[in-house]
Amino acid sequence: MDKVKPLSEYILDSQKIEINDYKNKIKLAILSSFTINGLAESLKVKCSQKQIFGSTYVAGYNQYNQEIFDTKSNLYSFSPDITFLILDTRSIFGNLFHFPYSITKSERKNFVDEKINELLNLIEKFNETTTSKLVITNLGLPHYSPHGIAEMKTSYSFHDAIIDFNKKLKDKVIEMDSVHIFDFFKFVIQHGENNVFNFQNYLFGDIKIALDYIPHLANDLIPYVISFLGLTKKCIVLDLDNTLWGGIVGEDGFDGIRLGPQPPGNAFVEFQKYLKALSQRGIILAINSKNNFDDAIQVIREHPHMILKEDDFACMKINWDDKVSNMQYISEELNIGLDSFVFFDDDPVNREFVKENMPEITTPDLPHDPSQYSEVIQSLHDFSVFQVTNEDTNRRKMYFQQKQRSESQKSSTNLTEFLKTLNLEIDIKKSDSFTIPRISQLTMKTNQFNLTTKRYQEEEIKKFSEDDKMLVGCAQIRDKFGDNGITGAFIVEKTNSDEWFLDTFLLSCRVMGREIEKAILYHIINEARKNNVKRLKAKFIPTTKNKPIEHLLPDSKFSKENDYWVYNIETPFSMPEFLTLRVK
């Protein structure tokens, strides 16, 4: 991130941001136990760098209790999407910050429990009153203790109490869908207490985060915004020479490239490890490299220090075509929109070429020093998610199977014949605590095969699931190559005893083109029939991306009625024979 820009410039820049320049918008509220001026302005600027307009509400100085407990407060009338509650150790501990040993060990324990309970009451009231996400900071650990070096010989010491507070808060919040913790404890470790806390700022104006570090804090809160808006990127497309290894394999040869345990080759090993970890949590990796295929693939397959292997890449374009054509091909092959890609290439000319032709792709500038590569990706915040799901952790495997499927498709002559050979199985599942995060994630991320493109947060899906007037479900897809995981979802609104409305119907791009939608629709129509419903109503809301689902309704015998499409339940509906449908 930009390390030199002082807070005053953020404040000035924030005044130049115009709401009309942005497609994505978010409302952010800031509550705090101390003076936190400048954070709202910094957040606005950081949002605008991600093409997001952030409108902000800042509660009065240390007014967070009142704002949350008063259901008519300005906080609630602002109706934020995300509320940041910024707490600090001095405010929470009060007098005990200086005199923790004026009370006994068991009193210290009780004190922490009491403070946790107060905070939980506050969270409960907040959640009752608003659907806003709540992000609470945990507490920073001061290096100070009145016991000095004896602190470590003190049982349930001052520092233990702070750590205990953080742990208890996490244990409670981990179960709450709409509440998250910002790890302020870690923020202070990263930047150092002597920097983040400035005594003069504190004594002057009760400013407990030094002015220079407010933009850093804003920067670290951006991942919540990205994740909330579903702007999380899906795939990193990598160059090879001087990106995954040092040197040029075509010139330096297999033995000449820099990749191994010694510097400078270890910088590339380190970067590959970082990428591997990203791929293990669901970020797709692909290659776009100008190289002789044989030279490059030999390194990938045989080099003893390659961390990333062939099956870590969902798609490899290693050829002499231009990078833009290759990007286009990768996007089509993986069925992912250009705006879900990050392009990572050490060559500024290639970067410029891609930037110019495909501005939707995020193309970060790279430092000359490969030891900073991981930091570049980290600071983008583009891969932030509120929660890592099972599908995320298995994605790498699933894309590799997908590659095998495409190979197999090439050998089949006609599509139905090919689909028959796949042994497709569809398990319809109810929404429950296991599937709700994934259903929400699908509504947030699916663009192409999505009838209405309605985005729902986890807590909304949860609310629908508990509502008798709604039917929420999802589909897990398996075939002979493996498990695709939960890749379809639907939400039906039971309008009245005669009519149901298809609020949401979507399939992940990974399983498109296999007529799975017919099986899911078959299931919904069956459910309607069982409940003596006469009509299933649906609406197609076109976007720039959902053309693939445009013909679903007419092709499935829905007839047009004004803006809607209606299926008469008495019409027989059949599902392709090669699909096996199970309802769990």
Partner 1 sequence: MAEKLYKIISKVMNINIEEINDESSPTSISNWTSFNGYVLLDELETNFDVKFSIDEAMDVKNVSDIKRHLQNHGVNFND
Give residues in contact with partner 1 (CB under 8 A): 6-9, 11-12, 15, 35, 37-38, 200-201, 203-205, 207, 211-212
Instruction: For partner 1, give the closer residue by CB, 201 or 393.
Output: 201
Whole-number minimum distance, CB 192 to partner 1, in Å?
17
Alpha-carbon distance 498 to 535, whole Å? 6
Whole-number minimum distance, CB 17 to partner 1, in Å?
14
Could you write out the DSSP letters of every residue in 305-326?
A: T--S-GGGEEEEEEESS-HHHH
Whole-number minimum distance, CB 146 to partner 1, in Å?
23
Instruction: For partner 1, give the closer residue by CB, 204 or 320.
Output: 204
Residue 189, amino acid: I
Instruction: For partner 1, give the closer residue by CB, 14 or 291.
Output: 14
Alpha-carbon distance 340 to 388, whole Å? 18
- Beta strand pairing call for 82-86 and 24-32: parallel
- For the stretch 95-103, contacts whose Cβ atoms lie closer than 8 Å and that sit 24 or more positions apart, written own/partner, are 96/158, 96/161, 97/142, 98/146, 99/146, 100/145, 100/146, 100/157, 100/158, 100/161, 101/146, 101/147, 101/154, 101/158
Whole-number minimum distance, CB 74 to partner 1, in Å?
19
Q: Is the dihedral of CA 388, 473, 491, 134 positive or negative?
A: negative
Alpha-carbon distance 393 to 58, whole Å? 37
Alpha-carbon distance 408 to 208, whole Å? 61
Exposed / middle / buried, residue 126 (Cβ in 10 Å: 0-12, 13-18, 19+): buried
Assess contact for 288 and 322: CB atoms under 8 A: no
Whole-number minimum distance, CB 203 to partner 1, in Å?
6
Instruction: For partner 1, give the closer residue by CB, 19 or 203.
Output: 203
Whole-number minimum distance, CB 13 to partner 1, in Å?
11
Whole-number minimum distance, CB 210 to partner 1, in Å?
8
- The owner of tokens 């107060």 is 118
Alpha-carbon distance 133 to 355, whole Å? 34
Instruction: For partner 1, give the closer residue by CB, 15 or 95.
Output: 15
Instruction: For partner 1, give the closer residue by CB, 9 or 375.
Output: 9
Instruction: For partner 1, give the closer residue by CB, 4 or 149.
Output: 4
Whole-number minimum distance, CB 211 to partner 1, in Å?
5
Instruction: For partner 1, give the closer residue by CB, 32 or 484.
Output: 32
